Amino acid sequence: MRGPTTAWFGTVSLLADFVYEGARSITGPLLASLGASALVVGVVTGAGEAAALGLRLVSGPLADRTRRFWGLAIAGYALTVVAVPLLGVAGVLWAACVLVVAERVGKAVCSPAKDTLLSHATAATGRGRGFAVHEAMDQIGALLGPLLVAGVLALTGNDYGPALGVLAVPGIAVLLLLFRLRARVPDPEAYEREVQAASTRSEPQAGDERLTSWWGSPTSWGLQAFGDGASATPSVMPSRGRWQSRSISNSAKVARTLKSIVGARVLCPPWQLPASCGGAQ
Protein backbone atom coordinates (compact mmCIF):
# COMPACT_ATOMS: atom_id res chain seq x y z
CA MET A 1 0.00 0.00 0.00
CA ARG A 2 2.82 2.44 0.79
CA GLY A 3 4.33 2.56 -2.71
CA PRO A 4 1.01 3.16 -4.52
CA THR A 5 0.01 5.67 -1.84
CA THR A 6 3.20 7.63 -2.44
CA ALA A 7 2.39 7.69 -6.14
CA TRP A 8 -1.12 8.91 -5.35
CA PHE A 9 0.31 11.78 -3.33
CA GLY A 10 2.43 12.63 -6.35
CA THR A 11 -0.68 12.58 -8.52
CA VAL A 12 -2.38 14.98 -6.11
CA SER A 13 0.55 17.36 -6.39
CA LEU A 14 0.60 17.03 -10.19
CA LEU A 15 -3.07 17.94 -10.50
CA ALA A 16 -2.83 20.73 -7.94
CA ASP A 17 0.12 22.33 -9.74
CA PHE A 18 -1.84 21.90 -12.95
CA VAL A 19 -4.47 24.19 -11.41
CA TYR A 20 -2.57 26.97 -9.71
CA GLU A 21 0.43 27.15 -12.05
CA GLY A 22 -2.00 27.37 -14.95
CA ALA A 23 -3.76 30.26 -13.22
CA ARG A 24 -0.55 32.04 -12.23
CA SER A 25 0.67 31.97 -15.83
CA ILE A 26 -2.00 34.50 -16.82
CA THR A 27 -2.50 36.42 -13.57
CA GLY A 28 -0.75 39.53 -14.87
CA PRO A 29 -2.64 39.82 -18.19
CA LEU A 30 -5.92 38.98 -16.42
CA LEU A 31 -5.52 41.79 -13.89
CA ALA A 32 -4.40 44.14 -16.64
CA SER A 33 -7.54 43.35 -18.62
CA LEU A 34 -9.55 44.53 -15.62
CA GLY A 35 -7.71 47.84 -15.50
CA ALA A 36 -4.78 47.09 -13.18
CA SER A 37 -1.54 48.98 -13.67
CA ALA A 38 1.85 47.31 -13.56
CA LEU A 39 2.23 48.58 -9.99
CA VAL A 40 -1.05 46.97 -8.93
CA VAL A 41 -0.14 43.69 -10.59
CA GLY A 42 3.21 43.66 -8.79
CA VAL A 43 1.69 44.49 -5.41
CA VAL A 44 -1.09 41.90 -5.69
CA THR A 45 1.11 39.06 -6.89
CA GLY A 46 3.77 39.99 -4.32
CA ALA A 47 1.17 39.97 -1.55
CA GLY A 48 0.00 36.58 -2.73
CA GLU A 49 3.50 35.11 -2.59
CA ALA A 50 4.09 36.64 0.83
CA ALA A 51 0.89 35.00 2.06
CA ALA A 52 1.87 31.64 0.51
CA LEU A 53 5.18 31.62 2.36
CA GLY A 54 4.57 33.62 5.54
CA LEU A 55 1.34 31.92 6.57
CA ARG A 56 3.10 28.57 6.66
CA LEU A 57 4.60 29.74 9.93
CA VAL A 58 1.03 29.60 11.24
CA SER A 59 -0.40 26.59 9.41
CA GLY A 60 2.63 24.40 10.16
CA PRO A 61 2.47 24.70 13.97
CA LEU A 62 -1.32 24.48 13.74
CA ALA A 63 -1.03 21.14 11.95
CA ASP A 64 1.38 19.84 14.59
CA ARG A 65 -0.80 20.99 17.46
CA THR A 66 -4.15 19.73 16.13
CA ARG A 67 -2.80 16.66 14.24
CA ARG A 68 -5.51 17.35 11.64
CA PHE A 69 -3.25 16.88 8.66
CA TRP A 70 -5.95 15.59 6.35
CA GLY A 71 -8.38 18.37 7.26
CA LEU A 72 -5.86 21.15 6.67
CA ALA A 73 -4.62 19.65 3.43
CA ILE A 74 -8.14 19.27 2.06
CA ALA A 75 -9.16 22.77 3.22
CA GLY A 76 -6.13 24.36 1.55
CA TYR A 77 -6.61 22.56 -1.72
CA ALA A 78 -10.34 23.32 -1.68
CA LEU A 79 -9.64 27.03 -1.34
CA THR A 80 -7.35 26.90 -4.37
CA VAL A 81 -9.79 24.83 -6.42
CA VAL A 82 -12.60 27.31 -5.75
CA ALA A 83 -10.56 30.50 -6.23
CA VAL A 84 -9.02 29.67 -9.60
CA PRO A 85 -12.17 29.11 -11.70
CA LEU A 86 -13.82 32.14 -10.07
CA LEU A 87 -10.97 34.28 -11.40
CA GLY A 88 -12.32 33.66 -14.87
CA VAL A 89 -15.68 35.20 -14.04
CA ALA A 90 -14.52 38.02 -11.79
CA GLY A 91 -15.81 41.18 -13.42
CA VAL A 92 -14.11 43.76 -11.19
CA LEU A 93 -10.50 44.32 -10.29
CA TRP A 94 -10.83 44.15 -6.52
CA ALA A 95 -12.57 40.76 -6.67
CA ALA A 96 -9.86 39.36 -8.91
CA CYS A 97 -7.18 40.67 -6.54
CA VAL A 98 -8.86 38.99 -3.58
CA LEU A 99 -9.07 35.69 -5.46
CA VAL A 100 -5.40 35.83 -6.45
CA VAL A 101 -4.39 36.24 -2.81
CA ALA A 102 -6.92 33.61 -1.68
CA GLU A 103 -5.42 31.04 -4.03
CA ARG A 104 -2.00 31.65 -2.45
CA VAL A 105 -3.47 31.42 1.05
CA GLY A 106 -4.82 27.99 0.13
CA LYS A 107 -1.30 26.96 -0.83
CA ALA A 108 -0.01 28.11 2.56
CA VAL A 109 -2.68 26.15 4.43
CA CYS A 110 -2.22 22.85 2.62
CA SER A 111 1.56 22.69 2.12
CA PRO A 112 2.81 21.86 5.67
CA ALA A 113 0.04 19.30 6.25
CA LYS A 114 0.56 17.73 2.83
CA ASP A 115 4.32 17.46 3.35
CA THR A 116 3.75 15.80 6.73
CA LEU A 117 1.40 13.26 5.16
CA LEU A 118 3.94 12.54 2.45
CA SER A 119 6.69 12.11 5.04
CA HIS A 120 4.62 9.46 6.83
CA ALA A 121 3.69 7.72 3.57
CA THR A 122 7.32 7.43 2.46
CA ALA A 123 8.57 5.96 5.74
CA ALA A 124 9.15 2.54 4.18
CA THR A 125 9.82 3.34 0.53
CA GLY A 126 12.43 5.93 1.47
CA ARG A 127 11.76 9.59 2.08
CA GLY A 128 14.37 10.74 -0.42
CA ARG A 129 12.92 8.58 -3.15
CA GLY A 130 9.35 9.45 -2.21
CA PHE A 131 9.92 13.20 -2.22
CA ALA A 132 11.87 12.94 -5.48
CA VAL A 133 8.94 11.21 -7.21
CA HIS A 134 6.54 13.71 -5.66
CA GLU A 135 8.59 16.70 -6.84
CA ALA A 136 8.99 15.27 -10.34
CA MET A 137 5.24 14.84 -10.71
CA ASP A 138 4.76 18.30 -9.23
CA GLN A 139 6.91 19.81 -11.98
CA ILE A 140 5.05 17.87 -14.65
CA GLY A 141 1.83 19.51 -13.49
CA ALA A 142 3.51 22.92 -13.41
CA LEU A 143 4.41 22.43 -17.09
CA LEU A 144 1.09 21.05 -18.32
CA GLY A 145 -1.13 23.61 -16.59
CA PRO A 146 0.13 26.72 -18.41
CA LEU A 147 0.22 24.79 -21.70
CA LEU A 148 -3.45 23.87 -21.34
CA VAL A 149 -4.41 27.44 -20.47
CA ALA A 150 -2.45 28.76 -23.44
CA GLY A 151 -4.19 26.27 -25.73
CA VAL A 152 -7.65 27.25 -24.51
CA LEU A 153 -6.83 30.94 -24.86
CA ALA A 154 -5.72 30.34 -28.43
CA LEU A 155 -8.93 28.49 -29.24
CA THR A 156 -11.28 30.99 -27.58
CA GLY A 157 -9.64 34.22 -28.69
CA ASN A 158 -8.09 35.11 -25.29
CA ASP A 159 -11.24 34.47 -23.29
CA TYR A 160 -10.10 34.05 -19.68
CA GLY A 161 -13.36 32.48 -18.50
CA PRO A 162 -13.03 29.12 -20.32
CA ALA A 163 -9.25 29.09 -19.85
CA LEU A 164 -9.58 29.23 -16.07
CA GLY A 165 -12.84 27.29 -15.92
CA VAL A 166 -11.25 24.20 -17.46
CA LEU A 167 -8.88 24.08 -14.48
CA ALA A 168 -11.82 23.11 -12.29
CA VAL A 169 -11.61 19.57 -13.69
CA PRO A 170 -8.16 18.69 -12.27
CA GLY A 171 -9.11 20.65 -9.15
CA ILE A 172 -12.08 18.41 -8.46
CA ALA A 173 -9.90 15.37 -9.13
CA VAL A 174 -7.48 16.60 -6.44
CA LEU A 175 -10.23 16.72 -3.82
CA LEU A 176 -11.61 13.30 -4.79
CA LEU A 177 -8.16 11.75 -4.48
CA LEU A 178 -7.58 13.34 -1.09
CA PHE A 179 -10.88 12.04 0.25
CA ARG A 180 -10.05 8.58 -1.07
CA LEU A 181 -6.62 8.60 0.56
CA ARG A 182 -8.05 9.79 3.86
CA ALA A 183 -10.63 6.98 3.76
CA ARG A 184 -7.87 4.41 3.25
CA VAL A 185 -5.58 5.72 5.98
CA PRO A 186 -7.40 8.03 8.42
CA ASP A 187 -4.40 8.06 10.74
CA PRO A 188 -1.30 9.00 8.72
CA GLU A 189 1.01 7.97 11.56
CA ALA A 190 -0.09 4.38 10.92
CA TYR A 191 2.49 4.32 8.14
CA GLU A 192 5.26 4.88 10.69
CA ARG A 193 3.89 2.29 13.12
CA GLU A 194 3.66 -0.30 10.35
CA VAL A 195 7.30 0.22 9.45
CA GLN A 196 8.38 0.04 13.10
CA ALA A 197 6.42 -3.18 13.60
CA ALA A 198 8.01 -4.76 10.54
CA SER A 199 11.44 -3.71 11.74
CA THR A 200 10.80 -5.28 15.15
CA ARG A 201 9.71 -8.57 13.58
CA SER A 202 12.86 -8.71 11.46
CA GLU A 203 15.29 -8.23 14.35
CA PRO A 204 17.38 -11.36 15.09
CA GLN A 205 16.73 -13.21 18.30
CA ALA A 206 19.40 -13.57 20.93
CA GLY A 207 19.78 -17.32 20.28
CA ASP A 208 20.47 -16.70 16.59
CA GLU A 209 23.62 -14.70 17.11
CA ARG A 210 27.03 -16.37 16.89
CA LEU A 211 29.33 -16.56 19.88
CA THR A 212 32.00 -13.94 19.25
CA SER A 213 33.08 -12.78 22.68
CA TRP A 214 35.84 -15.45 22.83
CA TRP A 215 37.06 -14.54 19.33
CA GLY A 216 37.66 -10.89 20.16
CA SER A 217 39.41 -11.46 23.47
CA PRO A 218 43.14 -11.59 24.25
CA THR A 219 42.67 -15.31 24.97
CA SER A 220 42.17 -15.94 21.26
CA TRP A 221 45.43 -14.21 20.47
CA GLY A 222 47.25 -16.43 22.96
CA LEU A 223 45.63 -19.52 21.46
CA GLN A 224 46.68 -18.41 18.00
CA ALA A 225 50.28 -17.97 19.14
CA PHE A 226 50.10 -21.43 20.77
CA GLY A 227 48.94 -22.99 17.53
CA ASP A 228 51.33 -21.07 15.27
CA GLY A 229 54.46 -21.44 17.41
CA ALA A 230 56.50 -19.11 19.56
CA SER A 231 57.37 -16.86 16.66
CA ALA A 232 53.75 -16.27 15.72
CA THR A 233 52.44 -12.73 16.04
CA PRO A 234 48.69 -12.22 16.33
CA SER A 235 47.55 -10.34 13.24
CA VAL A 236 44.08 -8.97 13.52
CA MET A 237 41.75 -7.01 11.29
CA PRO A 238 38.28 -5.47 11.78
CA SER A 239 35.26 -7.42 10.63
CA ARG A 240 31.73 -6.21 11.43
CA GLY A 241 33.02 -4.06 14.29
CA ARG A 242 34.99 -6.88 15.99
CA TRP A 243 38.66 -7.88 15.91
CA GLN A 244 39.15 -11.10 14.04
CA SER A 245 42.29 -13.24 13.59
CA ARG A 246 43.62 -14.12 10.18
CA SER A 247 44.91 -17.55 11.20
CA ILE A 248 41.48 -19.16 11.43
CA SER A 249 42.57 -22.72 10.77
CA ASN A 250 45.29 -22.80 13.47
CA SER A 251 42.97 -21.28 16.07
CA ALA A 252 40.32 -23.84 15.18
CA LYS A 253 42.77 -26.66 15.77
CA VAL A 254 43.65 -25.26 19.18
CA ALA A 255 39.98 -24.81 20.01
CA ARG A 256 39.14 -28.41 19.14
CA THR A 257 42.11 -29.68 21.17
CA LEU A 258 41.28 -27.71 24.30
CA LYS A 259 37.49 -27.68 24.25
CA SER A 260 37.31 -30.88 26.23
CA ILE A 261 39.37 -29.21 28.98
CA VAL A 262 37.74 -25.81 29.38
CA GLY A 263 34.34 -26.45 27.79
CA ALA A 264 33.07 -26.48 24.20
CA ARG A 265 30.85 -23.39 24.58
CA VAL A 266 33.73 -21.17 25.63
CA LEU A 267 36.01 -22.19 22.79
CA CYS A 268 33.37 -22.43 20.09
CA PRO A 269 34.81 -21.06 16.80
CA PRO A 270 32.93 -17.95 15.78
CA TRP A 271 31.88 -19.26 12.39
CA GLN A 272 29.80 -21.98 14.09
CA LEU A 273 26.68 -21.69 16.19
CA PRO A 274 27.12 -22.88 19.78
CA ALA A 275 24.81 -25.85 19.25
CA SER A 276 26.70 -27.20 16.23
CA CYS A 277 30.05 -26.49 17.81
CA GLY A 278 29.16 -28.39 20.95
CA GLY A 279 28.46 -31.47 18.91
CA ALA A 280 31.67 -31.32 16.83
CA GLN A 281 34.25 -34.05 17.27
Q: What is the pLDDT of residues 132-180, one digit of tens each?
A: 888 899 999 999 999 999 999 999 999 999 999 999 999 999 999 999 9
**Where do the domains of the chain lie?**
2-199, 209-278
Rg of the chain's alpha carbons, rounded to an integer?
32
User: Sign of the C-alpha dihedral, residues 158, 160, 162, 166?
Assistant: positive
Contacts for 34 with CB less than 8 Å, ≥ 6 apart:
90, 91, 92, 93, 96
Distance CA 23, CA 37 (A): 19
Task: Using the predicted structure, report yes or no on whether residue 248 has a pLDDT greater than 80.
Answer: no
Distance CA 73, CA 62 (A): 12
User: Sign of the C-alpha dihedral, residues 227, 228, 232, 237?
Assistant: negative
Task: Specify the CATH class of 2-199 in words.
Answer: mainly alpha
Lowest mean pLDDT across 44-48, 122-126, 173-177: 122-126
